[in-house]
């Protein structure tokens, strides 16, 4: 084992890590947004709307993320051409991001739904008794409390997403893992670079999950 | 839409021998199931052992199991797979290394790596479930068993584990389903399981959407039927007297 060529590769690894972090942040933001929307649909009184959201969630939860990434890599450019009528080149980054947002939304939806359902009914009734509309009571009363309760779970899911971003390797996007792999191949030390990549993933996820655990204890009632 | 839908594509010849595209999917599903089941056996055995270790009073043993869980849960699955497939064979003693690299067919060596990888990866998750199951049991169970003169091994084998396993069937089910989904990473080291066959069909036949739709349907059906099966098992073995047993 010879780790001497790692320092020279740090800029390239950092570039890869930035791609990973961009995917993570945008994926979590988009996923939580879409997931919250889905959760409200699942809780809607309209049966059709609720069932549609349930179908979406069950569908994405029963197929592998890797399948979604691969499929969207081919399908997103195709769909865009259908919509815009002309060839719109989208990179692997955009198609991967769409895949993550749509896939993770199914998981975030279930977290948000559980969070909303954990809020006592009286909160909603009280808000509406004060004259708020359904939308207002959700936005101003229920969701803020629900999000506070489910922050640890959302963060845990984000840590899982951080690890899952490595799957973009399959469509050739240069994320952190792919940067380490290709650097390692170039300098002929694939093992060393793979170990370093694993270590970095480990340190980040481990530290983050320890923080989440502490947060969970502090937020616990 | 100017896409040329053609669901008959699966019955068309692949141009390789007598095969039709559907044969590829069947072969792929075979590998997926073979990977998932073998990996699950490893995960269940090792995970149960680790789960028991985590609940033992011995600091060293439970610390060891905690270390394992932290390590395997915080490194991405794909990185673990690459480590098992590319790195570990080089660390083996020479006869074993040669056997792995030269005697085994590429499919077999990839299969072995994936099974070990998924097995150890999932074991960390199973461990946590088993631990939760054991800790969910009233303390009196252990105390009563010890008072009756059972040794620690007997307490676990005859009192704690039979109950714990029945309580944790729902979370174990979701890990069981996960291992089927996770087995798709095998496509990245060249094992021709379901996802790899789907990609190949999409590329060979140029019928991208049909290929991926069929793959999705297969995963979906597999998932649903396994879930129903596990629900049936859960009912069969429910611990009488607990709420989950439906008030029996």
A102–B contact, CB cutoff 8 A: no
Cβ <8 Å between A67 and B82: no
Could you tell me if residue A2 is left (phi over 0), alpha (psi between -120 and 50 degrees) or otherwise beta? Answer: beta
Q: What total of structural domains would you count in chain B? A: 1
Residues 103-122 of chain B with CB under 8 A from chain A are: none
Chain-chain contact of A166 with B177 (C-beta, under 8 angstroms): no
ipTM > 0.85 for the complex: yes
Q: Is B79 within 8 Å of A197 when comparing Cβ atoms?
A: yes
Cα nearest neighbour of A85 on chain B: B1
Task: Note whether B212 contacts A: Cβ–Cβ < 8 A.
Answer: yes
Torsion (CA) B158, B164, B166, B167 in degrees, nearest 10: 150
User: Is residue B230 assigned to a domain?
Assistant: yes
Mean pLDDT along residues B42-66: 95
In a domain, A3, yes or no: no
B208 vs A63, A74, A206: nearest CB? A74
- Helices A143-164 and A190-219: crossing angle in degrees, nearest 10, is 160
Indicate if the pLDDT at residue B49 is higher than 90. Answer: yes
pTM for this structure?
0.91
Residue A63 lies in a domain: yes
Does some domain include residue B11?
no
Whether A177 has its CB under 8 Å from any CB of chain B: the answer is yes
Instruction: Give the pLDDT band of residue B244 (cuts 50, 70, 90).
Output: low
User: Which two three-digit tokens encode residue A32?
Assistant: 């939580």
The answer to the question of residue A139 being in a domain is yes
How large is the average pLDDT for residues B54-59?
Answer: 91
Using a CB-CB cut-off of 8 Å, the residues of chain B touching A166 are 76-79
Kindly give the confidence (pLDDT) of every residue in chain A, 221 residues in length, as a single tens digit, with 9 standing for 90 and above.
788 888 888 999 999 999 999 999 999 999 999 999 999 999 988 999 999 999 999 999 999 999 999 999 988 888 888 787 777 777 889 999 999 999 999 999 999 999 999 999 899 999 999 999 998 999 999 999 999 889 999 999 999 999 999 999 999 999 999 999 999 999 999 999 999 999 999 999 999 999 999 998 887 75
DSSP for B103-116? IS-HHHHHHHHHHH
- In whole angstroms, what is the distance from residue B231 CA to residue A113 CA? 23
Q: What is the rounded average pLDDT of the residues B192-198?
A: 93
Report the pLDDT value the prediction gives residue B59, as an integer from 0 to 100: 92
Looking at B74-193, list the stretches that DSSP marks H as alpha helix, in order from N- to C-terminal side: 77-82, 88-91, 94-98, 106-136, 139-147, 152-154, 161-167, 169-182
The predicted structure's pLDDT at residue B248: 41
Instruction: Give chain B's mean pLDDT.
Output: 91
Query: What confidence tens digit (pLDDT) does each residue in B85-113 have?
Result: 999 999 999 899 999 888 889 899 999 99
Q: Identify the pLDDT of residue B247.
A: 43
Q: What confidence score (pLDDT) does residue A107 get? A: 96
Task: Tell me whether residue A2 is in a domain.
Answer: no
**Domain residues for A156?**
9-219
Q: Which of B73, B80, B195 sits opposite A66 (nearest CB)?
A: B195
Q: What is the CATH number of the domain that holds A96?
A: 1.10.3720.10
Q: Is B90 within the bounds of a domain?
A: yes
Q: What's the pLDDT score for residue A221?
A: 58
Q: Do B75 and A65 touch (CB under 8 A)?
A: no
The domain tally of chain A equals 1
Mean pLDDT of B135-164: 93
pLDDT greater at residue B247 or residue B72: B72
Alpha carbons B195 and B175: distance in angstroms, whole number: 20
Name chain A contacts of B183, Cβ cutoff 8 Å. 64
Tell me: pLDDT of B220 over 90.
yes
Average pLDDT over residues B18-41: 93
**Partners of B20 in beta bridges:** B13
Residue B10 domain-assigned? no
Interface mutation vs chain B, best among A62, A200, A207, A208, most B CBs within 10 Å: A62
Task: Map tokens 């809020």 to a residue.
Answer: A119
Residue B207 belongs to what domain range? 24-235
Q: Which residue from B81, B80, B98 is spatially nearest to B89, judged by alpha carbons?
A: B98
pLDDT at B245 over 60: no
Chain A hits for B71, CB-CB cut-off 8 Å, are: 202
B141 touches B118 (CB < 8 A): no
Beta bridge partners of residue B13, listed in sequence order = B20
Q: What is the CATH number of the domain that holds B45?
A: 1.10.3720.10
Quick one: DSSP state of residue B158?
Answer: I
Token representation of residue B120: 């150890």
User: Is A169's CB within 8 Å of B78's CB?
Assistant: yes
Q: How far apart are the CA of A34 and the nearest CA of chain B, in angstroms?
A: 22
pLDDT band for position B1 (50/70/90)? low
| Residue B203 predicted with pLDDT over 90 | no
């Amino acid at each position: 084992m010879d780790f001497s060529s790692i320092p020279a590769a740090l800029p390239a690894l950092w570039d890869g890590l930035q791609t990973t972090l961009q995917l993570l942040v945008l994926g979590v933001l988009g996923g939580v947004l879409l997931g919250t929307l889905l959760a409200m649909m699942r809780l809607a009184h309209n049966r059709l709307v609720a069932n549609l959201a349930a179908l979406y969630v069950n569908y994405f939860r029963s197929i592998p993320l890797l399948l979604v990434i691969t499929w969207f890599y081919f399908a997103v450019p195709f769909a865009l051409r259908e919509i815009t009528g002309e060839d719109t080149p989208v990179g692997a980054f955009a198609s991967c991001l769409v895949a993550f947002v749509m896939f993770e939304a199914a998981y975030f939806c279930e977290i948000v739904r559980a969070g909303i359902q954990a809020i006592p009914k009286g909160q909603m009734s009280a808000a509406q008794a004060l004259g708020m509309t359904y939308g207002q009571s959700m936005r101003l009363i229920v969701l803020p409390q629900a999000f506070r309760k489910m922050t640890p779970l959302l963060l845990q899911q984000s840590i899982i997403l951080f690890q899952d971003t490595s799957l973009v390797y399959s469509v050739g996007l240069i994320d952190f893992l792919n940067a380490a792999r290709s650097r390692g191949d170039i300098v002929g030390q694939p093992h060393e670079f793979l170990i370093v990549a694993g270590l970095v993933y480990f340190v980040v996820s481990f530290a983050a999950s320890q923080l989440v655990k502490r947060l969970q204890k502090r937020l616990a009632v | 839409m100017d896409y040329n839908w053609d669901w008959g594509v699966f019955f068309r010849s692949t141009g390789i021998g007598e095969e039709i595209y559907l044969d590829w999917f069947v072969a792929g599903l075979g590998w997926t199931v073979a990977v998932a089941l073998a990996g699950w056996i490893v995960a269940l055995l090792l995970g149960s052992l680790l789960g028991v270790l985590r609940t033992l009073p011995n600091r060293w043993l439970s610390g060891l199991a905690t270390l394992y869980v932290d390590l395997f849960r915080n490194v991405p699955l794909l990185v673990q797979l690459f480590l098992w497939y590319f790195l570990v064979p080089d660390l083996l003693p020479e006869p074993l290394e040669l056997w792995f690299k030269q005697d085994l067919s590429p499919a077999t060596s990839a299969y072995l790596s994936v099974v070990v990888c998924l097995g150890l990866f999932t074991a960390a998750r199973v461990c946590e479930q088993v631990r939760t199951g054991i800790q969910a049991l009233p303390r009196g169970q252990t105390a009563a068993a010890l008072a009756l003169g059972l040794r620690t091994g007997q307490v676990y084998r005859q009192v704690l584990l039979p109950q714990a396993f029945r309580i944790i069937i729902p979370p174990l089910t979701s890990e069981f389903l996960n291992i089927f989904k996770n087995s798709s990473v095998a496509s990245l080291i060249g094992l021709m399981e379901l996802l790899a066959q789907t990609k190949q069909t999409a590329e060979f036949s140029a019928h991208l959407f049909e290929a991926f739709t069929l793959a999705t349907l297969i995963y979906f059906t597999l998932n649903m039927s396994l879930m129903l099966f596990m629900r049936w098992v859960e009912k069969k073995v429910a611990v009488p007297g607990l709420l989950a047993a439906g008030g029996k």
